[in-house]
């Protein structure tokens, strides 16, 4: 099927992500409400791509290239600083530790994460045994997750995500720490999703897996897309880059990394705008672009999702919305009545404790047994 006939499931346009390099977590919190002068770092710099229905796209690149940051933005976990990400479907991110609570058991984490993904308690009860069996965790499923190895956490996270039936599956290096047997089973599950026409993003350092699984490859390089195209074409170029980089001396490698890191710190949306104009001129073959096109590109590249400085009104509205969101989420997920909330407002917090989640899990298991 031609690309123009397939549905676009994910479209990224001029996407960036900027972080402030604050020394501590408290400093990061302060930066939300007060003017700060921490150094800036652009983890993602003007990424554009389209992913179609039924397509598997591998994301490759060296450590720190922005792969995981980009996938977290696609999954809706992290908001972009500027640009747009259009998502047509439900996403599910599979990454080590993603959404797992260390002080809860594996079974309790299944219920909590599945609730947050939109499943009902009845649906979770119906899938619970299947999820546990797929994870291969056995008796460890009732142990606290903080005692799990990285491989066990990966198994649990993968098992939960693939049983929520997402339209868009994002696998972020979650298979790199599992054992060979589970990896093969997981790859078979991904292939099953491919046959069902799901869109899959696959972040991996296993170049063999990438060549086997991907239809196309997105090569991220220090926050930018270096190449995006058919798997063999991109992977051949990537393999050559790896070989050339390894051939450099230690000093040359350090100089190379430092030059790109400096570029990430000094990047600006104006720079993205100029690069985008240059690319558009090359595509159209016109040295002078119509004013409306230049204006459109400027708006797209400078479309920030949050103001650099928030007014007092903005901050007040944000706090009110956050409190309201927490209140509504607690009421719905914890199944609290208004009378209970008015008489015991502390239950909005204390009922999220591991003990309360455990009680909720036991309650639904008992209901399930009585129904049988």
For the chain, the average pLDDT equals 83
Residue 250 host element (H or E): helix 250-266
Please check the confidence at residue 260 and state whether its pLDDT lies above 80. Answer: yes
Give the pLDDT confidence of 338-359 residue by residue, as tens digits: 666 666 666 655 555 666 666 6
Supply the pLDDT for residue 30: 63
Q: What strand order describes the sheet that includes 82-87?
A: 40-52, 8-20, 82-87
Supply the pLDDT for residue 153: 85
Give the pLDDT confidence of 51-102 residue by residue, as tens digits: 999 999 999 999 889 998 999 999 888 899 999 999 998 887 776 556 688 8
pLDDT band at 231 (very low <50, low <70, confident <90, very high): very high
Supply the pLDDT for residue 305: 79
Supply the pLDDT for residue 216: 97
Averaged pLDDT for residues 296-310: 80
Dist CA 98 CA 101 (whole Å): 9
Give the pLDDT confidence of 111-145 residue by residue, as tens digits: 888 887 778 888 889 999 999 999 888 889 999 98
The residues near 18 (Cβ < 8 Å, ≥ 6 apart) are 40, 41, 42, 43, 81
Under DSSP, is residue 258 helix (H, G, I), strand (E, B) or coil? Answer: helix
Cβ atoms of 202 and 60 closer than 8 Å: no
């Amino acid at each position: 099927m031609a690309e123009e006939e397939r549905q676009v499931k994910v479209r990224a346009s001029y996407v960036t992500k900027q972080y402030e390099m604050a020394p501590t977590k408290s400093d990061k919190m302060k930066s939300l409400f007060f003017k700060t002068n921490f150094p800036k770092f652009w983890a993602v710099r003007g990424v554009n791509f389209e992913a179609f229905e039924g397509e598997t796209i591998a994301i490759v690149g060296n450590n720190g290239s922005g792969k995981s940051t980009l996938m977290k933005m696609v999954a809706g976990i992290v908001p972009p600083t500027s640009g747009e990400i259009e998502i047509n479907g439900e996403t599910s991110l599979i990454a080590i530790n993603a959404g797992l609570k260390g002080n809860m058991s594996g079974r309790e984490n299944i219920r909590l994460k599945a609730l947050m993904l939109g499943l009902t308690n009845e649906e979770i009860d119906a899938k619970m045994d299947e999820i546990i069996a797929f994870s291969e965790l056995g008796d460890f499923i009732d142990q606290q997750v903080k005692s799990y190895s990285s491989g066990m956490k990966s198994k649990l996270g993968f098992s939960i995500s693939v049983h929520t039936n997402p339209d868009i599956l994002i696998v972020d290096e979650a298979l790199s720490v599992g054992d060979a047997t589970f990896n093969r089973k997981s790859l078979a599950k991904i292939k099953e999703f491919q046959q069902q026409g799901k869109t899959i993003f696959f972040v991996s350092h296993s170049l063999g897996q990438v060549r086997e699984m991907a239809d196309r490859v997105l090569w991220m390089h220090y926050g930018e897309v270096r190449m995006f195209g058919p798997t063999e074409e991109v992977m051949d170029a990537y393999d050559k880059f790896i070989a050339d980089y390894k051939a450099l001396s230690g000093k040359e490698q350090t100089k190379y990394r430092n030059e790109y890191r400096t570029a990430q710190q000094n990047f600006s949306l104006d720079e993205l705008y100029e690069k985008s104009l240059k690319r558009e001129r090359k595509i159209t073959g016109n040295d002078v672009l119509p004013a409306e096109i230049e204006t459109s590109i400027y708006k797209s590249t400078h479309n920030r999702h949050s103001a650099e400085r928030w007014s007092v009104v903005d901050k007040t509205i944000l706090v009110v919305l956050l409190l309201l969101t927490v209140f509504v989420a607690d009421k719905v997920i914890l199944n609290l009545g208004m009378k209970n909330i008015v008489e015991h407002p502390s239950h909005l917090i204390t009922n999220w404790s591991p003990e309360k989640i455990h009680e909720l899990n036991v309650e639904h298991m008992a209901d399930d047994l009585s129904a049988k």
